[in-house]
Chains A and B, each alone.
Chain A
């Protein structure tokens, strides 16, 4: 009886303010979708950091025949020089492991990384590849002293820290995340205001009924519940659309990202499910709060 009554009231209210309801649904959907994408980027970046920071190393490129770096002065590195350099790096504090990558190995890696670009692979010969030392540090965050020590040594063309490259990517993703969350905050605010307006309209449309309900002693909850339920239902529908947005984002955005940058560390479906649950709860809570705040102002009990 009670439930029946409330749901018929809710249905009437939603239908009467159909355009407002649609506006609420869209705003909640986009807002919660953005929030969800922000959270998913967060999770993804976390996983990528774990994956990459384990693997980052310093690359010490050595001077070859065709190296144009000014530090080589046009001369190729000699074998004794290479051996001396290797011994020296091994002796440095904080160095865990040193690997020598010769031209053949470098060419193999190159071929693998640029599989898609056949023309480039075909145009490149083994002799074009630089030789290098791959230096693994015990503490990847403390790379500055090692880099400084190696830079400018005879036979060293260039020292690159992979962490810098990875950090560029993370920076980009961080900016995406801030953008998404910022947009979400603005949209959540808009959604709250829209819900407030919708509830106000509903309260005005039904002032006759609520007046009589008040008079015959219906409890506050009973009077307010239909209005709050309107907010909850629009919030839930918006949440469902947000969930669709997030699933699409997972398939077309995050799986693409992880294919290129984070082999083996894909955002899992249970992460997505968690984000969807969280955004739905936030969406509904915001709708309920907005409804209650408005009701306190426009529906005297």
Chain B
């Protein structure tokens, strides 16, 4: 599903590469934790998958497409197959829960009837039934992140990328968020989650890829956050 082959990324005006000869394979339906300290290249990895950045060398395949050969014109279609969740939720403050989720479908031109049918289903999937007409500022951080996950998942993407989704949320609420991610993963969606949260990684017992200074230092199936723990 995601295939990195000897990928190196150096940002302009920087000597040290953000990713240094990284090769990794993520299969369809896998759940992968991307761990490592700040600046180790986790976010760069996710941005490369979205083709927000181009690698300096190496090849990236996502959902069967060679990103190096994908024209800019087709990048939006790639992104429709990838859902994204962030630490800061990125909801539209002037739209309610339903409208925030529906927005993702409206802007890719889905018909209204389809939106009316699909959005309530996804809102229920993330556990926000009955809150469809709340505004984002009336919701807790955990609930806002659930809205963001609903928006990321509403178009049934093949891949869900989560960049520290529990970074702004207390540990108790984080468990709920992880349950939703697990539920999404069980529908067959590949999930890649970058995180600092050792407790979550340890409790999930999923594959762990650890980055340090842009290099993969560990790739374990059913791993934990750090060997020291």
Which residue of the partner chain B has the closest CB to A219? B76
Pairwise interchain contact B109-A222, C-beta atoms closer than 8 A: yes
Which residues of the other chain, B, contact A219 by a CB distance below 8 angstroms?
76, 108
Instruction: Compute how far the CA of A219 lies from the CA of B106 in the bound complex, rounded to whole angstroms.
Output: 12
Pairwise interchain contact A217-B111, C-beta atoms closer than 8 A: no
Which residues of the other chain, B, contact A208 by a CB distance below 8 angstroms?
90, 92
Chain B 102-132, CB-CB to A under 8 Å as 1, else 0, gives 0110111101100000000000000000000
A213 at the interface (CB under 8 A from B): yes
Instruction: Compute how far the CA of A1 lies from the CA of B78 in the bound complex, rounded to whole angstroms.
Output: 23
Pairwise interchain contact A209-B108, C-beta atoms closer than 8 A: no
Within 8 A of B (CB), among A215-235: 215-220, 222-223
Instruction: Compute how far the CA of A258 lies from the CA of B81 in the bound complex, rounded to whole angstroms.
Output: 68
A269 at the interface (CB under 8 A from B): no
B77 at the interface (CB under 8 A from A): yes
Instruction: Compute how far the CA of A212 lies from the CA of B155 in the bound complex, rounded to whole angstroms.
Output: 14
Which residue of the partner chain B has the closest CB to A211? B90
Q: How many residues from B make CB contacts under 8 Å with A?
A: 23
Pairwise interchain contact A209-B76, C-beta atoms closer than 8 A: no
Which residues of the other chain, A, contact B72 by a CB distance below 8 angstroms?
220, 301
B196 at the interface (CB under 8 A from A): no
With A212-B103, A213-B107 as known contacts, state yes or no: A218 contacts B76, CB within 8 Å. Answer: yes
Pairwise interchain contact A1-B106, C-beta atoms closer than 8 A: yes
Instruction: Compute how far the CA of A217 lies from the CA of B107 in the bound complex, rounded to whole angstroms.
Output: 8
B79 at the interface (CB under 8 A from A): yes
Q: B92's contact among A1, A5, A212, A218, by CB below 8 Å, is which?
A: A212
Instruction: Compute how far the CA of A142 lies from the CA of B103 in the bound complex, rounded to whole angstroms.
Output: 75
Pairwise interchain contact B108-A218, C-beta atoms closer than 8 A: yes
Pairwise interchain contact B92-A217, C-beta atoms closer than 8 A: no
Pairwise interchain contact A1-B84, C-beta atoms closer than 8 A: no
Q: B112's contact among A1, A213, A301, by CB below 8 Å, is which?
A: A1
Can you list 19 A-B pairs with a CB-CB distance of less than 8 A? A1-B111, A1-B112, A208-B92, A211-B90, A212-B107, A213-B107, A215-B84, A215-B90, A216-B80, A216-B108, A216-B151, A216-B155, A217-B78, A217-B79, A217-B80, A218-B108, A219-B76, A219-B108, A222-B107
Given A212-B107, A218-B76, 9 new contacts (CB under 8 A): A2-B109, A208-B92, A212-B92, A214-B76, A215-B90, A217-B81, A218-B107, A220-B76, A222-B108
Residues on B facing A (Cβ under 8 Å): 50, 72-73, 76-82, 84, 90, 92, 103-104, 106-109, 111-112, 151, 155
